[in-house]
Amino acid sequence: MTAQQFVSSNEIRARFSKAMSIMYQKEVPLYGALVELVAETNRQVLSEDAILANQLQITGEINRLAMERHGAIRVGTAEELKTLRRLFAVMGMSPVGYYDLAVAGVPVHSTAFRAVHETALQLSPFRVFTSLLRLELIENAQLRELAQQLLARRRIFTERALELITLHEAQGGLDEEQAQEFIVQALETFRWHSQATVSADEYQQLHDQHRLIADVVAFKGPHINHLTPRTLDIDRVQLAMPQRGITPKAVIEGPPPRNCPILLRQTSFKALEEDVAFIEHDGHEVAGHHTARFGEIEQRGIALTPKGRALYDRLLQATHDALQAPATEKNAVQYNQLLAEHFQAFPDDYAALREQRLAWFRYFPTECGLAAKETLDKNSSLEQLIALDYVRFQPLVYEDFLPVSAAGIFQSNLGDSHHTQYGTASSRTTFEQALGAEVIDELELYQQTQQRSLQTCAEALGVYKL
Ligand code: OOG
Ligand code: NI
């Protein structure tokens, strides 16, 4: 079979994320209502803000606006995580970044499976925040044993999905029919099962240890726990949610509203209480509830360099220190004020962000630059070309997650009663061993994308080096 007959991994990812979205909207109708609200708000923003509409056009962002989504799952064993890595590889998704959530009282560590090249991201930005439960953090030995047994017993992938993953690895791709089948089979792993694999009593024990543990251990598979469309105005959607019968979390995670958005702002609606059936040891079912699945929205801004990120982390920490308590409905106004005050120290125009090397950019040759190609000094520097308006820059969008924000999203969906502090040090190496691969350093990816855009400019304008 030749490579031409294979469906591209970008195409499989795009189709898969669409199939997942349809499945989730059916499973959680309130998520469908959120998607509608976001689409409406995006249309309004674009019609009001011509500059933004134009910028999204230039960077090609406009094409992926409606499909911008991420999801999240939680798995229980190294074996499950390893196989997920192979499954996501079929869709051109690699593990990027390491997130330690134990420091925030959530007994998991995580990575994000996503496309890494800007062209692939443009075709489908879909990514999956994937967490591995840290069983060693369950203090009760008996309960830990029960969790291990339950996890060892379950099979979260269909036989056919596993065969198709192996086939993909052997032949280097999947043809049309195989790709279609793969999407159907892979989706099964993420489906919701209302029938638990434990008795009501076992569920309660797991739940009492940590709600997240019950969510990972007590079910047949790692159901997708939320999906996330992209909004152009998160504050507007946050305000509009209650009018649609959607209850948002208390505060938006991440930086405050800005002229030049940085990193990632997120908010979610609270997880729904859903009917489940527990299975007693004599085989009969008992009705109960489980609360895990929700909907989220995100607004992405420019990716920050290590220097910019250090400044972000410092200002966010200072905000939390000043609030002296977790952000809740009660202190939300105060939190937002403190956040805005502290972030005044973060430059809010792209030229300053670039000059101070706080953020990553993509560079584009201008029409007049291209027209001047023949007469241009081949030794021109980037700054000279920018001053001549031969080169312009656009923000490079942040494609990853933020550990403090992720912890906030987890916590708002786990009930506010859990603020356990775990003593055990996290370990990226342990995570990578479970994953069976190293996670990619996201900063290198941004640097490479910026560098590639400079290279393209240099070639287009015929200058030696940028
Ligand atoms: C993942 C929460 C983190 C985000 O967007 O930061 C997350 C989870 O609840 O499993 O999705
Ligand atoms: Ni999320």
Ligand 1 in contact with 409 (CB < 6 A)? Answer: yes
The tens digit of pLDDT for each residue in 427-461 reads 899 999 999 999 999 999 999 999 999 999 999 99
Does the Cβ of 410 fall within 6 Å of ligand 1? yes
Q: Which of 106, 212, 268, 401 to mutate to test the pocket of ligand 1 (most atoms within 8 A of CB)?
A: 401
Residue 416 is predicted with a pLDDT of 54
Q: Does any ligand 1 atom lie closer than 6 A to the CB of residue 401?
A: yes
Ligand 2 center–CA 270 separation, angstroms: 12
pLDDT tens column, 87-135: 999 999 999 999 999 888 889 999 999 999 999 998 999 999 999 999 9
pLDDT at residue number 132: 97
Please give the number of the atom of ligand 1 that sits closest to the Cα of 402: 6
- Report how far ligand 1's centroid is from the alpha carbon of 62 (Å): 25
The answer to the question of residue 318 being in a domain is: no
Kindly give the distance from the C-alpha atom of residue 227 to the centroid of ligand 2, in angstroms, as a whole number. 7
Considering the domain boundaries, does residue 199 fall inside one?
yes
Q: Which atom of ligand 1 is nearest to the CA of 129?
A: 11
Q: How does residue 321 score in pLDDT terms, banded at 50, 70 and 90?
A: very high
Number of domains in the chain: 1
Percent of the chain with pLDDT over 90: 83
Ranking 138-142, 160-164, 177-181, 417-421 by mean pLDDT, the lowest is 417-421
Give the closest ligand to the alpha carbon of residue 265.
1
In a domain, 32, yes or no: yes
Q: Which two tokens stand for residue 448?
A: 């490479």
By residue range, what is the domain housing residue 234? 3-302+398-435
Mean pLDDT of 184-204: 96
pLDDT tens for 242-261 read 999 899 999 999 999 999 99
Give the CATH number for residue 207: 3.10.180.80
- Is there a domain that residue 380 lies in? no
Residue 387 lies in a domain: no
Residue 423 lies in a domain: yes
Ligand 1 atom index nearest CA of 131:
10
Residue 392 lies in a domain: no
